[in-house]
Amino acid sequence: MSLDLEPDDAQRAIHDELARFCAERCSDAELKKQIGGFAADLWRELAALGVLALATPEGDGGAAELCLACEALGAAVFPGPLCASVLAAQILPEAERREVTAGRAIVSLGAPPLVPFAPVATLFLALDGDRIHRAAPRGEVAPQATLGGEPWGRVELELGEALPASDRAFAVHDVALAAYTAAAGAALVARAAEHARTRRQFGRAIGEFQAVSHPLADCAIRSDAARILARAAACAIDADEPDTAARAAAARFSARAAALEAAHTAHQVFGAQGIAIEGPVFHLSRRIRQLASQPPSDLRARAAVLAPYAA
């Protein structure tokens, strides 16, 4: 049986509209300005496009549309608590969900005391193993600088009720994270390939050397594979298939590995420019490395991947 993973016209329109939005409102210069901060107006603009409502009862699309949207956002490394908001929209009751999907409630999802977006959050969700609790800050939030430039903070959280976090909710989150991460890695590979095409050493473009071109080709293949896995998992979620958790988790792991390899290879291709804060790609690679370790942890995803092989 074959599965057509090419987007239809409506899905392609979502991707292309978001790509245009990112090109107009989320340039490299703007991203670098926002390091350590949070652009609330930009976040609300994104929400107004309906992205955060995808794969919810109120949204105009399911997991497949969300996957395409996250590909466009990942290619631009659009800032903000995107995947945390996606997960929150899956587990919150309707009234709170609408606040999140409208961009009015800013989600902090993590395991205290160090949690993402705590300095700007209006809605705290605390991770306790496989459980997600409502939470409230106990005292002031101490801002914490991070590698990815996101506004994290140290704060004690008082745990409230546990929310019904289903396998589907985590699967939707993992698909969004996989699509975003794979696209970010692919964008980094594309920039490194263009640099290799124009940068000359020993009278030749460095891309003509196999030591440069072959690792870049490998990264491109791995990014494509991760993108395909994310789209396949999204289709499985929309079809309500039984193994969606494992598929989404596999896509998440594939995307993370591909993007981290892309970051490593791009740094090699760009040389010192690759790790300079003001350089052409560090804002991409630092975001990828942040994504690789952001909550929720991969313990649940690992269990999902291994479940079919358990005795």
Q: Give the pLDDT confidence of 164-218 residue by residue, as tens digits.
A: 888 999 999 999 999 999 999 999 999 999 999 999 888 899 988 999 999 999 9
Backbone φ and ψ for 55, nearest 5 degrees, come out as: 70, 20
Q: What is the mean pLDDT of residues 214-243?
A: 96
- The Cα 97–Cα 32 span in angstroms is 30
Q: Give whole-number Cα distances, 83 to 112, 179, 200, 283, in Å.
A: 18, 10, 40, 19
Closest CA to 89 of 56, 126, 40: 56
- The Cα 270–Cα 209 span in angstroms is 14
Q: Give the pLDDT confidence of 266-301 residue by residue, as tens digits.
A: 999 999 888 887 788 888 899 999 998 888 888 888
For residue 1, pLDDT beyond 70: no
- The Cα 58–Cα 283 span in angstroms is 34
DSSP 3-state of 163: strand
Token pair of 247 as six digits: 């598929």
Q: Which residue has the higher pLDDT, 30 or 234?
A: 234
Token pair of 105 as six digits: 């409630």
Q: To the nearest whole number, what is the mean pLDDT of the chain?
A: 92
Q: What is the mean pLDDT of residues 254-266?
A: 96
Q: Tell me the residue type at 213.
A: S
DSSP string, 238-256: HTT-TTHHHHHHHHHHHHH
Q: What is the mean pLDDT of residues 240-253?
A: 93
Lowest mean pLDDT among 33-37, 85-89, 177-181, 217-221: 33-37
Q: What is the mean pLDDT of residues 44-71?
A: 96
Q: What is the mean pLDDT of residues 252-272?
A: 95
Q: Which residue has the higher pLDDT, 263 or 2?
A: 263
- The Cα 233–Cα 174 span in angstroms is 9
Q: What percent of the chain has pLDDT over 70?
A: 98
Q: What angle do CA 74, 30, 192 make, to 5 degrees?
A: 50
Per-residue pLDDT, 2? 59
Backbone φ and ψ for 244, nearest 5 degrees, come out as: -65, -35
Q: What is the mean pLDDT of residues 64-84?
A: 96
Per-residue pLDDT, 276? 81
Q: Give the pLDDT confidence of 87-130 residue by residue, as tens digits.
A: 999 999 999 999 999 999 999 999 999 999 999 999 999 998 87
Task: Show the domains of the chain with their CATH numbers.
Answer: 167-309 (1.20.140.10)
Q: Give whole-number Cα distances, 129 to 115, 155, 207, 238, in Å.
A: 15, 18, 46, 27
The DSSP bridge partners found for residue 308 are: none
DSSP 3-state of 237: helix
Question: Which residues are within 8 A (CB) of 123 and not within 5 positions of it... i.e. 6 or more apart?
Answer: 88, 96, 99, 100, 105, 106, 107, 108
- The Cα 118–Cα 142 span in angstroms is 9
Per-residue pLDDT, 46? 96
Q: What is the mean pLDDT of residues 27-38?
A: 83
